[in-house]
Structure 1
């Protein structure tokens, strides 16, 4: 299937069905977190619609001395920003998102943990379709982009547009994908 809208529908259904089985991601090793982000800012997210939950990554980041930031989405056209905060103080945002209060311009993340609808083994990502993360990646090209997903979200190949930004790594409950590393 090469139609992005149709692929999103199919993969969202697959993701919701898989998430209903209550899978969990493995906890990342502290060594990995310390190597990736020694005391840096990691942008995470609160999962919706069956997205893989990065909570174990979040806990490992904090244990390693890192700081968590959370996405704030205003509307479809505005760029996503990341803000410090706690999941305890989040409010409802657009599209069913939970997000912190936006204060100021936000922070620049060292790592962006990225939700996704689908991915391929080359670390191409299919998002929700608004381009929020692709635009954020363009603003912060030095940030390490890590997709968090379920294995059922993998497809052989994704259709790509010129603005689509591949990830540096994708982590699922069963595997880790790096571009250019065959499976």
Structure 2
């Protein structure tokens, strides 16, 4: 299967899943992440769409604890990260995804959570096809790169291209997959 076929297949699976089941799986995933990384201070997270792993409870928890949280803001061919200042201050951006209006990230973050459609055991990723995260990571490549995925999003093998950027680890509801270099 090519990347678009994989995207279509996983999106159908994800959109047909029971919402309450996905909510339970999301909490397991984000709680495991929190347990491992709550000691950090600067987080690049994402606002969930289309039944992605729900990061909203994690964002809220870290925000209440006084952590710095940044979410992506998408422009034509690139994205930046702006500070999250509360859910009431988010506005729909380019793709209808909620984006913050806070200050732009101007320091090195501790960790980045990257969304995706599919992943493999080597921590390769298929995103939505816009290349925003791959372009961002081509410049900012020293950050710890985590991804959140449901087990059914883990596939045997992803054919990668030179510009594709792998993540360091993938949190699922059952395990943490660590990239072997």
Q: Normalised by the size of structure 1, how large is the TM-score?
A: 0.84
Tell me the residue number matched to 1:149: 149
Aligned partners of 2:43 and 2:69 also within 8 Å = yes
Aligned partners of 1:82 and 1:109 also within 8 Å = no
RMSD: 2.2
Distance (whole Å) between structure 2 residues aligned to residue 49 and residue 30 of structure 1 = 22
Structure 1, unpaired ranges of 5+:
none
Tell me the residue number matched to 1:140: 140
Aligned partners of 1:33 and 1:61 also within 8 Å = no
Cα displacement string for residues 84-115 of structure 1 (whole angstroms, at most 9, x for unaligned residues): 02222111112221111265x43443211111
More helix by share: 2
Cα displacement string for residues 100-158 of structure 1 (whole angstroms, at most 9, x for unaligned residues): 1265x434432111111000011111100111011111121111110011111111001
Distance (whole Å) between structure 1 residues aligned to residue 33 and residue 54 of structure 2 = 16
Q: Matched residue pairs, number?
A: 174
Tell me the residue number matched to 1:28: 32
Distance (whole Å) between structure 1 residues aligned to residue 144 and residue 60 of structure 2 = 18
The alpha-carbon distance between structure 1 residues 19 and 93, as it changes in their structure 2 partners (threshold 3 A), is farther
The alpha-carbon distance between structure 1 residues 89 and 162, as it changes in their structure 2 partners (threshold 3 A), is same
Tell me the residue number matched to 1:80: 79
Aligned partners of 2:111 and 2:146 also within 8 Å = yes
Q: Normalised by the size of structure 2, how large is the TM-score?
A: 0.85
Distance (whole Å) between structure 1 residues aligned to residue 38 and residue 102 of structure 2 = 28
What does 1:2-41 correspond to in 2, within 5 Å?
Answer: 3-18=2-17, 20-23=19-22, 24=24, 25=26, 26=28, 27-28=31-32, 31-35=35-39, 37=40, 40-41=41-42
Distance (whole Å) between structure 1 residues aligned to residue 53 and residue 73 of structure 2 = 19
Tell me the residue number matched to 1:49: 50
